[in-house]
Amino acid sequence: MKLTDLRDLELIKGDFNINYEYDITGTTVTGVEPLNNAENKLFLWKFREEDVEDFSKIYSLLREDKISEKVRQIIYGKVKEKCRDMIQEGICPIECMLYTSKEINNFINNDRTLVNYMSMVIYEITMVNKDKVIGSLEHIVVNWHWTPQLKIVIAALGRIKNSYLLEKAYYRFFNDNNLKLDLFRALINSGREEVVDYILQMISLISENNAVDKEISKCFKDKFKTIFSDDALKKAYSLLRSHGISSLARKTITYISGKDAVAISNSSSKNLGDLIVKAKSLKEFDSGINEFEELLKVRAHRKAAIIALRFTGEKSIGRLIYNTLLREKCSNMEVKEGIISLGILKYTEAYDLIEKYSDIDQYKVYCFAYFILLGETKYCNLMAEELFKEEYVTYDETAKAINQCINSCVELKECINNSFNYFMEHCDEKRQLKILNVLKEVLKKCLNKNIEESWYKLMGYIDGEIRVEERVQLGILELVQSVIDSKNANSYERFLFHILRDQRFSLNVQMVAQNMLKSFEVKAPGTL
């Protein structure tokens, strides 16, 4: 039997040997096809009859022929509230929310604004419970075949910015005429440099005879230059020298190139190292100011010039960067580097502008860094929490911002230590391993006695209580290994000998500790 709507599901729900829950396992259902002869599963998560009914009641608001913005917002709010309720009950709501939305397929297919609202719900739920939702989204991307529901998921991937899921979606949908425009928008909106090659591959094949391809061209012309870095632009411009791209692709890339393509093709992009040398001797009224002003106007040189100017040490030079952010159509990366440079130069005249940027998720951590560099320590805790929570951006971006401001703020080091302790205490083993990996990104600049004592406590060295399992123990030893050198080796000796003597540690952990001790000269255990 094929399931075409929820009334069909109602007819067969008694076939499932689960009380008050749907568990579609081993059942052939329209929209899900076996891939590579794998076992066919529609859902990863069980959901109750009342959950389906609740979503159905919400979607019933759309059963009129017309839809207003007010109705969209009401649905957005109610769907989000229902999803949060399910999350609190330990149920990932995404599959139930999407499956039930088949009732409103006509609206989803014809109302992009509604799709955006529903994708925003998925994004917000992902931020609340990332581990559960990411797994569910991957399952949907790989196995589902319902176009309207996939439109919502793909739009959500652009917001979530998970490069792994975007890659999965690319390889499945890049040639699907019903979904490739949604996919292209998601790749662009993600702003992830890792997906630039996929974007350019799609652009290289667009055709004048395909209406969807023309929309892809328009999206590229509207957004690519303002979102992606100089390196991404160079890749795009290099396609102009290729004979393997379509005529529409050539027109599209030429449209965004302008003077930049000439600058890049002539290999005139300035070397960052050379610009830093010039900037270090630059003063407010030097003739070299004019050169930097011109560089800031050219996309090919702008990012390097913004970074170099932070090395002047001259607060007044900040006006060049400030004016650039105001007047030029800067890429996301240029804005981020500009915010950091303004903070390093302590250019307080940009304060109001940075406050506005701080309302945009992808710029938040860079704005935190700006405020910290100005001495506003209240942002230290927000920065430290974001490093481990990844609520706004990935941890590598937060680490980059932290490394630009941590030397000027002792409080930030303490906040990182406190956040590390909190999350290690309240997270499961999988998350603890991720936290150790995150800490590694900022460790060399934030390492202090408190961080070391945190490791010791987790390993039972301080009070005898071992608080983490073997894999996490090995992760902690890896961190220790990364910071040991001839100057601090002796300070870790007692800790490593403690591991060797404590039989609660596995042989594997003890062998790692022993090899670490062998890697540098130590005192005999009896002399400790």
How buried is 14 (Cβ within 10 angstroms: 0-12 exposed, 13-18 middle, 19+ buried)? exposed
Q: Could you tell me if residue 345 is inside a domain?
A: no
What lies within 8 Å, CB to CB, of 316 at 6+ separation is 284
Predicted confidence band at 446 (pLDDT cuts at 50, 70, 90)? confident
Which among 122, 138, 160 is the end of a domain?
160
Q: Could you tell me if residue 244 is inside a domain?
A: no
Number of domains in the chain: 2
pLDDT of 300 higher than 90 = no
Q: Could you tell me if residue 50 is inside a domain?
A: yes
Whether the Cβ atoms of residue 356 and residue 329 lie closer than 8 Å to each other = no
How buried is 521 (Cβ within 10 angstroms: 0-12 exposed, 13-18 middle, 19+ buried)? exposed
Using alpha carbons, select from 502, 495, 483 the residue that is nearest to residue 522: 495
Query: Looking at residue 284, what is its pLDDT?
Result: 66
**Which residue type occupies 448?**
N
Q: What is the mean pLDDT of residues 58-82?
A: 87
Host domain of residue 497: 447-528
Q: Could you tell me if residue 468 is inside a domain?
A: yes
Q: Could you tell me if residue 177 is inside a domain?
A: no
Which among 160, 192, 226 is the end of a domain?
160
pTM: 0.55
**Token code pair at residue 323:** 């004016």
Q: What is the mean pLDDT of residues 37-66?
A: 76
Which among 160, 181, 202 is the end of a domain?
160
- The Cα–Cα gap between 175 and 207 comes to 12
Q: Could you tell me if residue 66 is inside a domain?
A: yes
What lies within 8 Å, CB to CB, of 60 at 6+ separation is 103
Q: Could you tell me if residue 483 is inside a domain?
A: yes
In order, the DSSP letters of 131-161 are HHHHHHHHHHHHHB--HHHHHHHHHHHHHHT
Query: Looking at residue 176, what is its pLDDT?
Result: 92
Whose tokens are 């014809």? That residue is 110
Predicted confidence band at 483 (pLDDT cuts at 50, 70, 90)? confident
Q: Could you tell me if residue 91 is inside a domain?
A: yes
pLDDT of 27 higher than 70 = no
Q: What is the tens place of the pLDDT at every residue in 127-165?
A: 888 878 898 999 999 999 999 999 999 999 999 999 899
- The Cα–Cα gap between 115 and 108 comes to 6
